[in-house]
Structure 1
Amino acid sequence: MQIPYKPILPQNPQPIIIIGAGGIVGDAHLPAYKKAGFQVFGITNRTRAKAEKLATDWNIPNVFDTVADAVAHAPAGTVYDVTIMPEKFVETLELLPDGSGVLIQKPMGDYFWQSKEILEVCRRKKLAAAINCQLRFAPYVSAARYMIEQGLIGQVYDMEVRVTLETPWELFPFVMVHPRLEIQYHSIHYIDLMRSFLGEPRTVMAKTLKHPAKELSSSRSTILFDYGDTMHAVINTNHDHSFGPHNQESFIKWEGTKGAIKARMGLLMDYPHGVPDKFEYCIVEEGKAPEWKELQLEGSWFPDAFIGTMSSLMRYKAGEIDVLPTSVEDVIKTMAVVESAYQSSDDGGVLVANQLTDI
Structure 2
Amino acid sequence: MTLSVAVIGAGYFAGFHVEAWQRNPDVALKALIDLDRRKAENLLTEHGARQAVVAERLPEEGGFDIIDIAAPPVAHAELVRQALRTDARAIICQKPFCTSLEEAEAVTDEARKAGKLLVIHENFRFQPWYRVMRREIENGRIGQLYQVTFRLRPGDGQGAEAYLSRQPYFQKMERFLVHETAVHWIDTFRFLLGEPEDVFADLRKLNSVIAGEDAGYFIYRFGDGRRALFDGNRLADHAADNPRLTMGECLVEGSEGTIALDGFGRLTSRRRGAKEWQEIPLEFDKSRFGGDCVYFLQQHVSDHLLNGSAIENDAASYLRNIQIENAIYHSAETGSMVSLGPK
TM-score, structure 2 as length reference: 0.85
Counterpart for residue 150 of structure 1: 139
- Report whether the alignment pairs 1:191 with 2:186: yes
Q: Deviations 1:111-166 (Å, cap 9, x if unpaired)?
A: 22222123122222222111111111111111111111222222211111111342
User: Could you tell which deviates more after superposition, 39-48 or 109-118?
Assistant: 109-118
Partner residue, 2:315? 328
Partner of 2:46: 57
Q: Residues 262 and 281 of structure 1 are in contact (CA less than 8 Å); yes or no, is this contact kept in structure 2?
A: yes
Q: Find the counterpart in structure 2 of residue 258 from structure 1.
A: 256
The answer to whether the 8 A contact 1:157-1:256 is kept is yes
Q: Say if 1:93 and 1:121, in contact at 8 Å, map to a contact too.
A: no
- Say if 2:73 is the partner of 1:83: no
Aligned to 1:9: none
CA contact (8 A) 1:17 1:41 kept: yes
Equivalences, count: 320
Q: 1:46 aligns with which of 28, 35, 44?
A: 35
One-letter amino acid of the counterpart of residue 293, structure 2: A
Match in the other structure for 1:127: 116
Q: Secondary structure at the match of 1:67?
A: coil
Q: Where does residue 222 of structure 1 map in the other structure? A: 217
| 1:243 shift after superposition | 10
Amino acid at match of 1:74: G
Of stretches 146-155 and 33-42 in structure 1, the one that deviates more from structure 2 is 33-42
Aligned to 2:197: 202
Checking the alignment, whether the CA contact within 8 Å between 2:200 and 2:331 is kept in structure 1 is yes
The RMSD of aligned alpha carbons is 2.5
| Greater RCO (Cα-Cα under 8 Å, separation 6 or more) | 1
Determine the C-alpha separation between the residues in 1 that align with 2:63 and 2:191: 33
- How far, CA to CA, are the matches of 1:153 and 1:63 in structure 2? 50
- Give the conservation status (yes or no) of the 8 Å contact 1:110–1:184: no
Identity of aligned pairs, percent? 20
Post-superposition offset of 1:102:
1.2
Query: Does 2:56 correspond to 1:66?
Result: yes
- TM-score between both structures, scaled by the size of structure 1: 0.81
Kindly provide the amino acid, as one letter, of the partner of residue 130 in structure 1. Answer: V
Gaps of 5+ in 2: 157-161, 338-343
Task: Report the CA distance between 1:182 and its aligned residue.
Answer: 0.9
Task: Tell me how far apart the structure 2 counterparts of residues 206 and 335 of structure 1 sit (CA, whole Å).
Answer: 15
Extract unaligned runs of 5+ from structure 1. Answer: 1-11, 267-275, 351-359
Q: Distance in 2 between matches of 1:84 and 1:190?
A: 21
Counterpart pick for 1:342 among 305, 312, 329: 329
